[in-house]
Chains A and B, each alone.
Chain A
Amino acid sequence: MSILAAESANPLLPPVGEIIVGLIAFAVLLFVVVKFVAPRFEQVFQARRSAIEGGIERAEAMQAEAEAALQQYRAQLAEARNEAAQIRDSARAEGQQIIEQLRAQAQEESARIVARGEEQLAASRQQVVAELRGQIGTLAVELAGRVVGESLADDARRSGTVDRFLDELDEMAASNPAGNGGAQPASGAATGSTVYVPEGNR
C-alpha cells in the first residue's frame, strides 16, 4: 500500500489479512493460557488452599492437644495437693494417736510401779511381822522360862529381868527398823530403772 493510498485509507475498514493475523495472535495466546497457564495457576491456588487448611487443622489439633495436656496437669496438680493434704491430716491424727498411746502407756507404767512398790512394802511388812511373831514367841518362851526359873519373890531381880527383857526388846526394835529401812530404798532403786521417761521430756 503506497503512502498516497494510506493517506486516503479509512482506519475503520481493516484489511482481511490483518484481521486474520490478529485472530491467530489471540488464538495462540488463548491456547497457551487455557491449556497451560490457567490450569497451573488453579493447581497452585488449590494446593495453597489445602496447605492453609491443613495448617489451620494442624494448629487446631495442636491447640487441642495443649489444652488437654494443661487440663491433665491441672488435674494431676489438684490430685497431688489433695493427697498432700490427706497425708498431712493422717500424719497429724497419727501423731495425736501416738501421744495418746504414749500417755496411756506412761500412766499404766507409773500405776504399775506404784503397785509394785506397794506390793513390796506389803511383802516386807509381812516378813517383818512374821519374823517378829517368831521372835516374840521364842522371847516369850524364854522370858516365861526365866520367870518360872528364878524366885518370884525377889522383886529386884524380877524387875531386873523385866528390864533386861525390855532392853533386849529395845535393842531388837532398834536393829530391826534399821534393817527394814535399808531394804526399802534398795528395792526402790531396783525398780527405778524401769520407770518410763516420756519422749516429749527428752
Chain B
Amino acid sequence: MTSSAHALGDVLAVESDPGGGFTPPGIGEFYPEVLTSFSVLGVGFEITRITIIAWVATLAMIAFLVATVRKPQIVPGKMQFIGETGYSFIRDGIARDVVGPKGLPFAPFLASLFFFILANNLMAIIPFAQISPMSKFAFPLVLALICWVVYIVVGIKNQGLWPYFRDIMFLPGVPKPMYLLITPLELLQNFIVRPFTLAIRLFANMFAGHMLLVTFALGATYLLSVGNFSAVFGPISALMAIVMTFFELLVIFLQAYVFTMLMGTYLNGSVEAAH
C-alpha cells in the first residue's frame, strides 16, 4: 500500500510542473482552522472541527448505547442485539477470557474504551467528517494514560505495593546477575513503554490511514483536472481511495480491539500475581 502511494507520488511529482503543480497533503491536515478559542485557568482551548467531531462521535455512541438498553428484553430486539453483541464481545472476549476470573468488574471500563475508540475511529470514513480524533495524539494519549493509571492501581490493590513492584522488577526464576539487565528493562517496559506504545500504535494507524485516504482522494481530483493523458490515472487513484476506505474500516475495528485487548492483558498481569 505504501509502495502504491509512493508510485502515485512519483506520478504526481512528474506532473507537478504544469499549472502550479500538486501540493501533497501535509501535517496541516490535522490542524484545521480554529473555530473559537478560550482559556480556562490559563489552559488554552481551541475548538476545531476535530473537537466537534470527537464530541459528535462520543455523543452518537452514547445515544446508540442508551438506545440499545432503553427497553431491555430477555429476547432482544434488533437494536438491543447489536449493542449486546458489542458489549458481550468485550465482556466475554476480553474481561472474562483475557483478564481472567476476576476480570468481570472491568468489563464496563474495557467496553467504554472499545466503544469510545471505535466511535472516534469510525469518523475517519464517515462522509463530511473524514478524520478521526484518534489521529490527534492527544486522544490516544489520554486513553493510554488512563489505562496506565488503572493497571498500576489495580496491580497495587490486588497484590500490595511491594509485591507488585517486586514481581515486576525481580522476575522469579531468573539468575541473580541477570537482574542487572532485566530489572531496568522491566521497569522501562511496564511503566514507560507500555502507555506510549498503546497511544502511538492507535495514533499512528489513524494518522497514516487519514494521510493515505487524503493522498489518493486529492491525487484523483488533481489528475482529472490536469487535462492531459494523466487523467487516465485519475480513476485508478479514485478507485484506490475507495479500496483504502474499506481497508481503513478494517483498521478502525482492529485498532479499537487491539487497544482494548492489550489493556486486558495488562490488567491480567495486575489482577493475578506474575509467574
Contact = CB atoms under 8 A, between A and B. Distances in A.
Partners in one complex: yes
Interface of A: 1, 3, 5-7, 9, 11-23, 25-26, 28-30, 32-34, 36-38, 40-41, 43-45, 47-48, 51
Interface in B1-52: 26-28, 30-31, 34, 43-46, 51
A11 B112 contact: no
Contact of A41 (B30, B58, B84, B133): B84
A28 B58 contact: yes
Interface string B36-72: 0000000111100001001100100110011011001
Interface in B64-90: 65-66, 68-69, 72-74, 76, 80, 83-84, 87-88
Contacts of A33: 65, 108, 111-112, 115
A8 B180 CA distance: 41
Contacts of B109: 30, 34
B66 A21 contact: no
23 contacts: A1-B34, A3-B31, A7-B28, A11-B203, A15-B44, A15-B138, A19-B138, A20-B45, A21-B138, A22-B133, A25-B55, A26-B143, A29-B112, A33-B65, A37-B66, A37-B69, A37-B108, A37-B111, A41-B69, A41-B72, A41-B87, A43-B72, A44-B76
Given A33-B112, A40-B72, A7 B26 contact: yes
Contacts of A14: 136-138, 141
Nearest to B87: A41
A177 B53 CA distance: 152
B168 interface: no
A32 B27 contact: no
Interface residues of B, number: 50
Q: Ordered nearest first, which 3 A-B pairs have the shortest CB separation?
A: A6-B31, A14-B138, A38-B108
Interface of B: 26-28, 30-31, 34, 43-46, 51, 54-55, 58, 61-62, 65-66, 68-69, 72-74, 76, 80, 83-84, 87-88, 91, 107-109, 111-112, 115-116, 119, 133, 136-139, 141-143, 146, 200, 203, 207
A37 B28 CA distance: 38
B115 A22 contact: no
A37 B66 CA distance: 6
A11 B55 CA distance: 20
Given A6-B31, A17-B43, A38-B107, A29 B138 contact: no
A48 B141 CA distance: 38
Nearest to B64: A37
Contacts of A16: 43-44
Contacts of A36: 66, 69
Given A1-B31, A44-B74, A32 B66 contact: yes
A11 B30 contact: yes
B203 to A, nearest CB: 8
A32 B72 contact: no
A25 B58 contact: yes
A51 B72 CA distance: 14
A47 B112 CA distance: 23
Contacts of A28: 58, 62
A7 B29 CA distance: 9
Contact of B45 (A6, A7, A21, A47): A21
Nearest to A14: B138
Contacts of B116: 25-26, 29-30
A15 B46 contact: yes
Given A1-B34, A11-B30, A36-B66, A19 B142 contact: yes
A18 to B, nearest CB: 4
B138 A22 contact: yes
A32 B65 contact: yes
Given A18-B139, A23-B142, 13 more contacts: A1-B34, A11-B136, A21-B51, A21-B54, A34-B108, A34-B109, A36-B66, A36-B69, A37-B108, A38-B107, A38-B108, A40-B69, A41-B88
